[in-house]
A and B are shown apart, each in its own frame.
Chain A
Amino acid sequence: MVHDGEPTPRLEMRGISKTFPGVKALNGVQLKAWGGEVLALMGENGAGKSTLMKILSGAYYADPGGEILIDGQPVAITDPISAKRQGVAIIYQELALAPNLTVAENIYLGEEPSRGGRVDRAAMRAGCQAVLDRLGTPFNAGTTVAGLSIAEQQLVEIARALHAQSKILVLDEPTTALSTRETDRLFALVRQLRDEGIALIYISHRMAEVYELADRVAVLRDGGYVGTLTREELNPDTLVKMMVGRDLSTFYTKTHDARDSHGPVVMEVRAITDGGRRVHPCSLQLHRGEVLGIAGLVGSGRTELARLVYGADPKVAGDVLLDDIPVTIRTPEDALEAGIAYLTEDRKALGLFLDLSCGTNINLGVISRDARFGGILDWTMWRRRAAEAFETLRVRAASPQVLVGSLSGGNQQKVLLSRWLEISPKVLILDEPTRGVDIGAKSEIYRIIDDLATREIGIIVISSELPEIIGVCDRVLVMREGRIAGEVGGPSGMPITQENIMSYGAGVAA
């Protein structure tokens, strides 16, 4: 798409800088978005994408010197209300809806139409329904938001933006919590809005989405503007190079011997189930030094299966054997005792203690074992373990005393991972190990997984990202509707490809 000849972009941001105490978050960034196209905004965590969008939405002030033009006219965006008036709408990852109110009430929140001092509910419902019809939503204006799925709530947010006559719509990682089907529906909607002439800015980490949707891709790195690629110029190598600033020739590492998957079985799970609520009886074998993938759609029961094995949720039936010996696992504590560790998919809510230091987070699984006189902390061991973990996992933080909450996603993940490595597990279950992690840390985590496999640990990787599963795993189980639907790689003879995994996951193959 050539824009040089066209008159004016819908949105132009010029020379935008933002300084926080001690940090220059943005440095003279520029951005252009035209109506009727999708501009993808990419960059690692901390590159400045969110800061830039917060300036556009009026949540932050930019440093003096930059300017924002809409349809060629300089505008002053000083607060969220003025941004809205200029036609800017942002849909954040964390949706901002009042769950107890109806869809119509949410859309009109703060500007309810009134007639004679009373809220005109009929007008509200009618106005809302008009927008919902345009979007083709499966719910109506009177539905209470609390009963809607995340994807549907997102639609409510989009409806709110459309109702406010927004000309510029920013979507910040909208697919994080969506299933494949919901994602497809969202993409169709994004295209529809684009064709209606809205300028869309799409923030995402997922390359595949960007390829599918974007007309142009703007890249930020370390608060600076790196460049923009058109659809024709877009290719993975260039994009990664722009985002990371270096080549990632060996993104996935697989040096461990894949033949080990035929070696001794370290863990066997026999017909484990939660009574059929989320997981129907599932059995699997994990070999020493093997990286076993568990793929499947979101909601297919992958995390639930892992939590059953780990004792995080109560199981109704089923056995777990470690080195051919049955073990009783009723709580996570039992699992850890037996040598099974589980890295949660939600590290902030279920994994880390954000108000405790990195060192304590790393040591948490072993402080009891290290303690002297039955309970007094051994600071020497604490320091040694923290320092070693920092070293081997390349955690970037000033010191182990730093609170883990202040680290970037990738470094937080490394801290959590090292907690489980400290207990020297026989089996390590990694649930979405690279979610919300920037691309540099991603490849380091792949390197660590590979390294652990060479050290004879049995590893299970649960992931929604097929390239990750394909790049990292020796063998893959595919789950569908709470059951293991099939196996690819290893003795199955089927190569680990996107098509083979998808056919089991979607239920096409028998």
Chain B
Amino acid sequence: MSDGKTGVSAPAAAARGSGGGGLSARQVQIRSLVQALGMLPVLIILAIAFHYLGEERFLTGQNLSIVAQQAAINTVLGAGMTFVILTGGIDLSVGSVLAASAMAALIASLIPDWGMLGIPAALLTGLLFGLINGSLIAFGRLPPFIVTLGSLTAVRGLARLMGSDSTIFNPDLPFAFIGNAVIPVAPGFGIPVLAIIAIVVILVSWFVLRRTVLGIWIYAVGGNQAAARLSGIKVWRILLFVYAVSGLLAGLGGVMSAARLFAANGLQLGQSYELDAIAAVILGGTSFVGGIGSIWGTLIGALIIAVLSNGLTLVGVSDIWQFIIKGLVIIGAVALDRVRLQGSART
């Protein structure tokens, strides 16, 4: 006989029934709350800090309206980027697609009496480039990074070609209200139309991601593509859809920026917008490997970037230091993402 007792102890048997699976409902609630809040506390702290550092000029109706306007285009691009990154992909071409779409918008807006065609022209341009990206990725099985890196360059060239490498102006832009109108809600405070468009995009994205079958499939493809295929999900259709959405929303961004500026320049417009959009998504806690994330996070991420730009300018930080600080904030946020992923239970 060895050192052990072979009997079966009762308490161990009794303890068995309860702890079978994972976390308690309360732990799940707390965790999902922490995850849902994500970067919101950071946003609030930044806003308050800038308010007091900037002689109480930050949290005013007028300034917040400007922040909303500044955040709007990046929010729209970030929403499209969220769809793509949720599937584990990336879309580097959105800045160039935005420029080409804005060019299309302005060219079409110059058609006499049919200037409003500028809006569908831009949207279709964006959608077309999105579908091309998506087809190459879904059917050609090419890596998203490579495909969209290529279209980042190629579409930039096309955008320049569209305006013969010059700036197109339209001082009588028929849809200029999109970029400049402000809907007054209270004395001294109004909501810019740009911001309203961004909010609508976020709401629609939320609905698609959380309330439709398509949304679940997007998360499924991002979480485990092999399992998605074996579960009967048409993976190619999902991939095509997310890149099409990203392209379409870049087209919408083109409309917004054309309307804001009454002009478009194929060379300069939308330069490095893709980086801000990606930063918004990552700040929002969406995982770079796919399958985890939320559209609300992207909204908060885009707001953080806008608040940083606006606030740092307000406080009088030079352009150079703004770059450095923004970069560090993004790295810090990704580090936070790591810690959070470690916290979530995976067996």
Q: How far is the CB of A217 from chain B (nearest CB, A)?
A: 10
Assess whether B25 is in contact with A399, with CB atoms less than 8 Å apart: yes
Q: Which residues of A contact B346 (CB under 8 A)?
A: 354, 405-406
Does A360 interact with chain B (Cβ within 8 Å)? yes
Segment among A150-158, A171-179, A183-191, A390-398 that sits at the interface with chain B? A390-398
Q: How far is the CB of A409 from chain B (nearest CB, A)?
A: 8
Q: How far is the CB of A441 from chain B (nearest CB, A)?
A: 9
Q: Which residues of B contact A368 (CB under 8 A)?
A: 213
Assess whether B6 is in contact with A407, with CB atoms less than 8 Å apart: no
Assess whether B9 is in contact with A350, with CB atoms less than 8 Å apart: no
Total cross-chain contacts (CB, 8 A): 163
Query: Of the candidates A224, A228, A396, A402, which one forms a contact with B9 in the assembled complex, judged by CB atoms under 8 Å apart?
Result: A224
Assess whether A406 is in contact with B12, with CB atoms less than 8 Å apart: no
Assess whether B20 is in contact with A397, with CB atoms less than 8 Å apart: yes
Does A367 interact with chain B (Cβ within 8 Å)? yes
Does B24 interact with chain A (Cβ within 8 Å)? yes
Q: How far is the CB of A301 from chain B (nearest CB, A)?
A: 18
Using known A-B contacts A245-B12, A356-B223, A402-B28, determine if residue A228 contacts B2 with beta carbons closer than 8 Å. Answer: yes
Does A218 interact with chain B (Cβ within 8 Å)? yes
- Name A310-341 residues within 8 Å CB distance of B: 310, 312, 331-333, 335-337
Does A3 interact with chain B (Cβ within 8 Å)? yes
Does B344 interact with chain A (Cβ within 8 Å)? yes
Q: Which residues of B contact A411 (CB under 8 A)?
A: 20-22
Q: Which residues of A contact B226 (CB under 8 A)?
A: 349-350
Assess whether B230 is in contact with A312, with CB atoms less than 8 Å apart: yes
Does A377 interact with chain B (Cβ within 8 Å)? yes
For A352, give the chain B residue with the smallest CB separation.
B227
Does A257 interact with chain B (Cβ within 8 Å)? no
Assess whether A403 is in contact with B344, with CB atoms less than 8 Å apart: yes
Q: Which residues of A contact B291 (CB under 8 A)?
A: 353, 355-356
Using known A-B contacts A222-B15, A227-B7, A229-B6, determine if residue A406 contacts B345 with beta carbons closer than 8 Å. Answer: yes
Q: How far is the CB of A426 from chain B (nearest CB, A)?
A: 15
Assess whether A367 is in contact with B213, with CB atoms less than 8 Å apart: yes
Contact with A along B142-156 (1 / 0, CB 8 A): 000000000000000
Assess whether B22 is in contact with A344, with CB atoms less than 8 Å apart: no
CA–CA, A218 to B20, complex, Å? 23
Q: Which residues of B contact A388 (CB under 8 A)?
A: none
Which of A4, A335, A349, A397 has the most chain B CB atoms inside 10 A of its CB?
A397
Assess whether B231 is in contact with A3, with CB atoms less than 8 Å apart: no
Q: How far is the CB of B204 from chain A (nearest CB, A)?
A: 13
Using known A-B contacts A355-B291, A405-B347, determine if residue A336 contacts B232 with beta carbons closer than 8 Å. Answer: yes
Q: Which residues of B contact A205 (CB under 8 A)?
A: none
Query: Of the candidates A23, A218, A333, A355, which one forms a contact with B4 in the assembled complex, judged by CB atoms under 8 Å apart?
Result: A218
Segment among B38-46, B76-84, B214-222, B267-275 that sits at the interface with chain A? B214-222
Does B185 interact with chain A (Cβ within 8 Å)? no
Does A143 interact with chain B (Cβ within 8 Å)? no
Does B141 interact with chain A (Cβ within 8 Å)? no
CA–CA, A228 to B2, complex, Å? 7
Does B124 interact with chain A (Cβ within 8 Å)? no
Query: Of the candidates B13, B16, B223, B345, which one forms a contact with A353 in the assembled complex, judged by CB atoms under 8 Å apart?
Result: B223
Q: Which residues of B contact A295 (CB under 8 A)?
A: none
Contact with A along B232-276 (1 / 0, CB 8 A): 111000000000000000000000000000000000000000000
Query: Of the candidates B3, B19, B228, B230, which one forms a contact with A228 in the assembled complex, judged by CB atoms under 8 Å apart?
Result: B3
Assess whether B16 is in contact with A406, with CB atoms less than 8 Å apart: no
Using known A-B contacts A3-B2, A241-B8, A406-B345, determine if residue A222 contacts B230 with beta carbons closer than 8 Å. Answer: no
Does B292 interact with chain A (Cβ within 8 Å)? yes
Q: How far is the CB of B343 from chain A (nearest CB, A)?
A: 10
Assess whether A32 is in contact with B231, with CB atoms less than 8 Å apart: no
Query: Of the candidates B28, B214, B227, B231, which one forms a contact with A375 in the assembled complex, judged by CB atoms under 8 Å apart?
Result: B214
Does A408 interact with chain B (Cβ within 8 Å)? yes
Q: How far is the CB of B88 from chain A (nearest CB, A)?
A: 11
Q: How far is the CB of B186 from chain A (nearest CB, A)?
A: 36
Q: Which residues of A contact B340 (CB under 8 A)?
A: none
Assess whether A246 is in contact with B13, with CB atoms less than 8 Å apart: yes
Does A122 interact with chain B (Cβ within 8 Å)? no
Q: Which residues of A contact B33 (CB under 8 A)?
A: none
Does B224 interact with chain A (Cβ within 8 Å)? yes
Q: Which residues of B contact A364 (CB under 8 A)?
A: 216, 220, 231, 233
In this complex, how many residues of chain A approach chain B with their Cβ under 8 Å: the count is 66
Does B342 interact with chain A (Cβ within 8 Å)? no
Assess whether B223 is in contact with A227, with CB atoms less than 8 Å apart: no
Assess whether B212 is in contact with A398, with CB atoms less than 8 Å apart: no
Contact with B along A218-238 (1 / 0, CB 8 A): 100110111111100100001
CA–CA, A413 to B234, complex, Å? 24
Using known A-B contacts A375-B213, A398-B24, A403-B345, determine if residue A230 contacts B2 with beta carbons closer than 8 Å. Answer: yes
Contact with B along A1-16 (1 / 0, CB 8 A): 0111000000000000
CA–CA, A233 to B306, complex, Å? 72
Does A342 interact with chain B (Cβ within 8 Å)? yes
Assess whether B224 is in contact with A353, with CB atoms less than 8 Å apart: yes
Q: Which residues of A contact B324 (CB under 8 A)?
A: none
Does B320 interact with chain A (Cβ within 8 Å)? no
Does B335 interact with chain A (Cβ within 8 Å)? no
Q: Which residues of A contact B1 (CB under 8 A)?
A: 2, 230, 233
Q: Which residues of A contact B5 (CB under 8 A)?
A: 227
- Name B169-226 residues within 8 Å CB distance of A: 211-216, 219-220, 223-224, 226
Q: Which residues of A contact B8 (CB under 8 A)?
A: 226, 241-242, 245
Q: Which residues of B contact A337 (CB under 8 A)?
A: 232
Does A510 interact with chain B (Cβ within 8 Å)? no
Does A419 interact with chain B (Cβ within 8 Å)? yes
Assess whether B212 is in contact with A375, with CB atoms less than 8 Å apart: yes
Q: Which residues of A contact B227 (CB under 8 A)?
A: 344, 349-353
For B10, give the chain A residue with the smallest CB separation.
A245
Q: Which residues of A contact B6 (CB under 8 A)?
A: 227-229, 233, 238, 242
CA–CA, A332 to B231, complex, Å? 7
- Name B317-331 residues within 8 Å CB distance of A: none
Using known A-B contacts A333-B234, A355-B291, determine if residue A216 contacts B21 with beta carbons closer than 8 Å. Answer: no
Does A376 interact with chain B (Cβ within 8 Å)? yes
Q: How far is the CB of B323 from chain A (nearest CB, A)?
A: 34
Q: Which residues of A contact B339 (CB under 8 A)?
A: none
Does A365 interact with chain B (Cβ within 8 Å)? yes
Does A146 interact with chain B (Cβ within 8 Å)? no
Does A371 interact with chain B (Cβ within 8 Å)? yes
Other A-B contacts than A4-B3, A405-B347, A407-B22, 20 sampled, CB-CB below 8 A, are: A2-B1, A222-B12, A227-B7, A245-B8, A349-B224, A349-B226, A349-B227, A350-B230, A352-B224, A364-B220, A368-B213, A371-B212, A375-B213, A396-B20, A397-B21, A398-B24, A406-B21, A407-B21, A409-B347, A419-B231
Q: List 24 A-B contacts (CB under 8 A).
A: A3-B3, A32-B2, A226-B4, A227-B4, A228-B3, A228-B6, A245-B8, A246-B13, A333-B234, A350-B230, A355-B219, A355-B292, A355-B344, A356-B291, A364-B220, A371-B212, A377-B211, A397-B21, A398-B22, A398-B25, A402-B23, A402-B28, A405-B344, A408-B347
- B residues contacting A by CB (< 8 A) are 1-9, 12-13, 15-16, 19-25, 27-28, 211-216, 219-220, 223-224, 226-234, 291-292, 344-347
